[in-house]
Amino acid sequence: MEKRAEQLRNVAFIAHGGSGKTSLAEAILFNGKATTRLGKVDDGTSNLDFEPEEIKRKITINTSFHHCNWKKHTINLIDTPGDDNFLSDTRLSMQAADGVVLVIDATDGVKVGTEKVWRFADELQLPRIIFINKLDKERSDFFKIVEESSRIFDVKATPVFLPIGAEDKFEGLVDLIRMESYLYSKDGSGKFESGDIPADMEEIVSEWREKIIENIVEANDDLMEKYLEGEELSTKEIEETFMQGIKSGMIVPTVCGSSTLNLGIAQLMDLIVQGLPSPLEKAPREGTKPGGEEVVERPPTVDAPFSALVFKTIADPFAGRLTLLRVFSGTTKSDLTLYNANKQTKEKFGQLLLIEGKKQRPVEMAGPGDIIAIAKLKETSTGDTLCSPDDPIIYKPTEPLPSVISYAVEAKVKGTEDKVFTSLAKLLEEDPTLRLERAQATSETLLSGTGQIHLETTCEKLQRKFGVEVNLNPVTVPYRETIKKPVQKVIYRHKKQTGGRGQFAEVHFDVSPLEKNAGFEFDEALTGMNVPRNFVPAVEKGLTEALTSGTLAGYPIVDLKVRFFDGKSHDVDSSEMAFKIAARMCLKKAMQDANPTLLEPIMKMEITIPEDAMGDVMGDLNGRRGRVLGMDSQGRYQVIKANVPMAEVLQYALDLNAITGGRGTFQMEHSHYEEVPAQLAEKVIAAAKDKE
């Protein structure tokens, strides 16, 4: 088991969408003989992008997993989404990795998504390799990308290989450490021949070799001394120090190739195996004891107590729930019981499964570094720690990214509302970035996610997996109504005479405004016996019902006090119903004279943007009636804090993307209510009347 963990490499492939990381993972699987032909994203034959929603859009939506063997090692591939809508899954799945390969499109350079996923790798302190892809494409520029990535990520440029030829003449690599060249047959087979460095490249090769040797020796003081004293360094010394430098994160090597031609992939695989750490080389993982703050550590060894973090859940309508976990310490077998330290419950399970693209294969045992799946666990969800019952531990999981856009979700077919809710709840287990809540004020069911496409694909999955169809409607802004001036001695008499017993009730109210967020106050101030006290609850009930729908536009009424000080009753014709109706009508009458006004929800926002977008975003916020409260800087980004009316930011995620070219992010939460300006209030009232 120990030997197996030593030969294991857990690698996450991360990139901005469309950089070719799934194609790269496909080439690695093919070279490692895990697949018999090169899977292609474009023709739908990918082993990793196999969900119908992924094939339709030609993008990765869910992180997928596979593995292959290479030079007596096992490479566990974690192929993550690059599209902004699905980056939360990338961030959570990277918890299973020990190193990353960051893929950059040589025709496109470092994009917004590239910066975001780089920050995720920073948060998790994962060593990384940069792979510059698509060097066979027109307008690809290796040296430009090397310069750009070093500048933006603030790392020393350390290319290990230089490309031979460019665009359609790209045919191989020069190895700057071993000082030899590899020429490829460009048929996708991945076959190449070693040879001497092309004569016309000698100058650029010696220039770059000098640079990268300088970067490498910085990782080892003894070697640095030898180098500065002008001693000759052996290839072995350089290579060993280089590999240590990658593992420690001091060196970020750059390699290059073309994933669709399977060119340069073998060299990347060598570097993954030699340069990225095995699970056993990772530092002990820290957690806390359940129910306390006491910090405990788990070394990544076979004989430590078992512990694993659940980093992903897959909802399968046939197999039920699949729980994916990364083992950090100890071992476990099939048909055992594990302890869920977060839920403080024991979980029995049957088979341990290894995920291979869309298939699963049973395995007998799992140890440090293994990424395995268990079906049908009852209590366990993403972010939980599974461990040995005798020595429990809780690991702090990475938080999913916040949701930024919401829609009101309704069943297309009347009567299937319950099925919609239960099916969505299953998708929520799979995708922790989705939020489902009931808007109290409007009784709508709100579905929130990280982007428009995120919610659209959720609805497609809902239909495909559970046969449920829904419509996404714009969210209704929960306006409220209140009054601005007090009115006194408002009298309303309810009198109805029909055959037999009639209805009679009269109420006298004083109605006055209260301060913000005070809600509703009922003051029973009756003296004398004009109104029997047994009718008081009916009056209060009538008022409570009247508060649900105001006189301006039918929105709930808030922040007012009703003083019930007098009235009249009839021995025979007065009833609870009569007093309820009188109370309701009296409040309506009072509202009309009390200067009624409309209130709107104000959102507190934090918007993170690059400096060059500052002017545009501020201008846009002013146009949305926003009030800027302050600004902070965060590295190369600016953070704007502002209060903005909810009605103006229902689709802000889409607009901010457009203004900042996808580089802006934001978070928002409800802050308070404020009065709607008169001219806008008229529009809202007119729209509400149209709906009736």
Phi-psi region of 527 (alpha: psi -120 to 50; beta: other; left: phi over 0): beta
* Confidence at 569, pLDDT banded by 50, 70, 90: very high
By CB atoms closer than 10 A (0-12, 13-18, 19+), residue 413 is exposed
Is 392 part of any domain? Answer: no
Which of 416 and 525 is assigned the larger pLDDT? 525
CATH number at residue 590: 3.30.230.10
Task: Identify the pLDDT of residue 207.
Answer: 92
- Which is it for strands 285-288 and 253-256: parallel, antiparallel or unpaired? unpaired
Q: Which amino acid is at 310?
A: V
Relative to beta strand 332-333, strand 352-356 is unpaired
**Three-class secondary structure of residue 210 per DSSP:** helix
Q: CA-CA distance, 405 to 374, in Å (whole number)?
A: 32
Q: Specify the length of the chain in residues.
A: 692
Any domain includes 626: yes
496 assigned to some structural domain: yes
> What's the rounded Cα separation, in Å, for the pair 348 and 339?
9
User: Could you tell me the end-to-end alpha-carbon distance of the chain, in angstroms, rounded to an integer?
Assistant: 70
| Rounded distance between C-alpha atoms, residue 667 and residue 399, angstroms | 14
Q: What is the pLDDT of residue 536?
A: 94
Structure tokens at 449: 């996610």
CB 366 within 8 A of CB 307: no
Q: What are the E-state strand segments in 330-404?
A: 332-333, 337-340, 345-348, 352-356, 359-363, 365-366, 371-375, 385-387
At residue 592, does pLDDT exceed 80?
A: yes
DSSP states along 29-86: HHHTTSSSS---TTTT--SS--SHHHHHHTS--S-EEEEEEETTEEEEEEE---SGGG
Rounded to whole angstroms, the Cα distance separating 61 from 663 reads: 20
Domain boundary among 281, 298, 321: 281
User: Residue 574 carries which DSSP code?
Assistant: -
Query: Taking the CA of residue 76 as centre, how many other CA atoms within 13 Å lie in the half-sphere pointing to its CB?
Result: 25
47 with 75, same domain? yes
In DSSP notation, 530-572 reads: SS-GGGHHHHHHHHHHHTTS-TTTSPPB-SEEEEEEEEE--TT
Q: Are residues 433 and 381 in the same domain?
A: no
Query: Of 543, 564, 594, which residue sits at a domain end?
Result: 594
Amino acid (one-letter) located at 578: A
Checking if the pLDDT of 574 tops 70, the result is yes
The predicted structure's pLDDT at residue 633? 86
Verify that 516 and 530 share a domain, yes or no. yes
Listed range (312-321, 417-426, 658-667) with the worst mean pLDDT:
312-321
Q: Tell me, yes or no, whether 165 and 275 share the same domain.
A: yes
Residues 556 and 668 in one domain: no
The owner of tokens 């120090």 is 241
Query: Is the model's pLDDT at 560 over the cut of 70?
Result: yes
pLDDT tens-digit map of 43-98: 666 666 666 666 666 777 778 899 999 999 999 999 998 887 788 888 999 999 99
Task: Evaluate whether residue 394 is within a structural domain.
Answer: no
Q: Which of 339, 335, 336, 370 is nearest to 355 (CA)?
A: 370
Tell whether the model's pLDDT for residue 620 goes beyond 90.
yes
pLDDT band of residue 275 (cuts 50, 70, 90) is very high
pLDDT of 1 reads 60
CB environment 501-539: b (16+ within 10 A), e (fewer): eebbbbbbbbbbbeeeeeebeeeeebeeeebeeebbebb
Does 549 fall in a domain?
yes
Dihedral over Cα of 525, 529, 531, 534: its sign:
positive
Element (H, E) at 92: helix 87-93
Q: Which of 28-37, 291-300, 316-325, 376-385 has the lowest mean pLDDT?
A: 316-325
- Using pLDDT thresholds of 50, 70 and 90, give the confidence band for residue 692: low
Q: Residue 599: is its pLDDT beyond 90?
A: yes
Average pLDDT over all residues of the chain: 88
> What share of the chain has pLDDT > 70, as a percent?
96
3-state secondary structure of 98: coil
Residues 430 and 417 in one domain: yes
Number of domains observed in the structure of the chain: 5
Is residue 248 very low, low, confident or very high in pLDDT (cuts 50, 70, 90)? confident
Using alpha carbons, list the distances in angstroms from residue 377 to 339, 347, 402: 11, 7, 26
Report the Cα 86 to chain-centroid distance in Å: 6
What does the alpha-carbon distance between residue 85 and residue 662 come to, in Å, rounded to a whole number?
11
- Both 331 and 313 in one domain: the answer is yes
How far is the C-alpha of 570 from the C-alpha of 10, rounded, in Å?
83
Give the DSSP H/E element, type plus range, for residue 460.
Answer: helix 452-466
pLDDT in tens, 120-137: 999 999 999 999 999 999
Report the distance separating Cα 63 and Cα 478, nearest Å: 37
Q: Beta strand 560-568 with 596-610: parallel, antiparallel or unpaired?
A: unpaired
User: Quick one: tokens of 505?
Assistant: 């009730």
pTM exceeds 0.75 for this model? yes
The token pair at 136 is 């066979």
The tens digit of pLDDT for each residue in 293-307 reads 889 999 999 999 999
- Does 34 reside within a domain? yes
CA pair distance 333, 467, nearest whole angstrom: 36
Least confident of 90-104, 262-276, 463-477, 511-525: 463-477
When pLDDT is averaged across residues 8-15 and rounded to a whole number, the result is 94
pLDDT value, residue 600: 93
Which of the 8 DSSP states describes residue 369? T
Please state, in angstroms and rounded to a whole number, the distance separating the CA atoms of residues 106 and 126.
Answer: 23
Q: Which of 450, 473, 496 is the last residue of a domain?
A: 473
The CB density around residue 667, as the number of other CB atoms within 10 Å, is 13
Same structural domain for residues 189 and 40? Answer: yes
**Cα–Cα distance for residue pair 143/251, rounded to 1 Å:** 18
Q: Note whether 157 and 254 are same-domain residues.
A: yes
As a whole number of angstroms, the distance between CA 354 and CA 8 comes to 14
d(CA 326, CA 111): 30
My answer on whether 255 and 360 are in the same domain is: no
8 Å CB contact between 538 and 586: no
Answer whether residue 400 is part of any domain. Answer: no
Residue 556, Cα to own-chain centre: how many angstroms?
A: 34
- Which two three-digit tokens encode residue 68? 């292959």
**How far apart are alpha carbons 16 and 457 in whole angstroms?**
19
Residues 241 and 371 in one domain: no
Mean pLDDT of 543-570: 92
CA atoms within 13 A on the CB side of 137: 20
The CB-side HSE value for 310 (13 A sphere, CA atoms) comes to 29
**Domain boundaries, position 219:** 2-281
φ and ψ of 68, to 5 deg = -150, 165
Residues 286, 429, 17: CA angle, nearest 5 degrees: 80
Digit-coded pLDDT (tens) for 15-44: 988 888 888 988 999 989 888 777 776 666
Question: Is residue 143 within 8 Å of residue 150, measured between CB atoms?
Answer: no
Tell me, yes or no, whether 513 and 628 share the same domain: no
d(C-alpha 447, C-alpha 351), whole Å: 34
Other beta carbons within 10 angstroms of residue 152's beta carbon come to: 14
What DSSP line would sit under 177-192, residue for residue? TTTEEEEE-SSSS--E
Distance from C-alpha of 184 to C-alpha of 428, rounded to nearest angstrom: 46
Q: What is the helix (H) or strand (E) element at residue 421, kind and residue range?
A: helix 417-430
Task: Give, in order, the Cα–Cα distances in Å from 95 to each of 59, 113, 449.
Answer: 22, 18, 21
CA gap 449, 86 in Å, rounded: 9
Q: What CATH number did the domain enclosing 611 receive?
A: 3.30.70.240
Domain of 355: which CATH number? 2.40.30.10
Residue 38 lies in a domain: yes
Which CATH number covers residue 453?
3.30.70.870
Mean pLDDT of 514-543: 92
Contact 102, 131 (CB under 8 A): yes
With 90 as the cut, is the pLDDT of residue 637 above it?
Answer: no
Q: How confident is the model at residue 318 (pLDDT cuts 50, 70, 90)?
A: low
